[in-house]
Amino acid sequence: MRKSNIKASFDADIKTVWGIVTNNENYVWRSDLLKIEVSDNKNVFTEYSKDGFSTDFVITVKEDYKIYEFDMSNQNMVGHWTGIFSEIENGGTTIDFTEEIYIKNPLMEVLSYLFMNLKKMQQTYVNDLKKELTQIT
């Protein structure tokens, strides 16, 4: 199992941060994605990376302005993602995102440490989120 966690704070209210992170139909701010397809009931979505690789997601927990969780899978892995949102004193927001993945092939798991930097992927997401918040607040 691989696990990575990232925490960040923003000078934006929790409703704004929550709205951006949980709106899977608005993905243009994400520099790592080509597109997202969302199911009719909005609880299932598929992300396509810039190189066309797809990952399926099923939302398992969604408590407004508190916690957002989903299971994820593709041909190489299965995993779970948890996002915890907290309001801070200055009216800003802190996020605490944890990703756990299980690589299906033991050889691929070893190689994933070289070619799949989870921390870098999380940092890209946080950087993209900061840019989006700067543009709308």
Range(s) of the domain holding residue 31: 2-136
Of the candidates 100, 98, 95, 46, which has an alpha carbon nearest to the alpha carbon of residue 75?
Answer: 46
Of the candidates 95, 66, 1, 41, which has an alpha carbon nearest to the alpha carbon of residue 57?
Answer: 41
CA–CA separation, 62 and 15 (whole Å): 14
How far, rounded to the nearest angstrom, does the alpha carbon of residue 14 sit from its chain's CA centroid? 16
Contact 129, 26 (CB under 8 A): no
CA–CA separation, 11 and 33 (whole Å): 25
CATH number of the domain bearing residue 9: 3.30.530.20
Q: What is the pLDDT of residue 100?
A: 98
Contact 73, 55 (CB under 8 A): yes
**Placement of tokens 């070893």 in the chain:** 110
Q: What is the pLDDT of residue 92?
A: 96
How many structural domains comprise the chain? 1
Burial of 89 by CB count in 10 Å (0-12 exposed, 13-18 middle, 19+ buried)? Answer: exposed
Q: What does pTM read for this prediction?
A: 0.93
Q: Give bridge partners of residue 86 from the DSSP assignment.
A: 94
pLDDT in tens, 17-64: 999 999 999 999 999 999 999 999 999 999 999 998 999 999 999 999
pLDDT in tens, 59-113: 999 999 999 999 999 999 999 999 999 999 889 999 999 999 999 998 888 888 8
Q: What is the pLDDT of residue 137?
A: 61
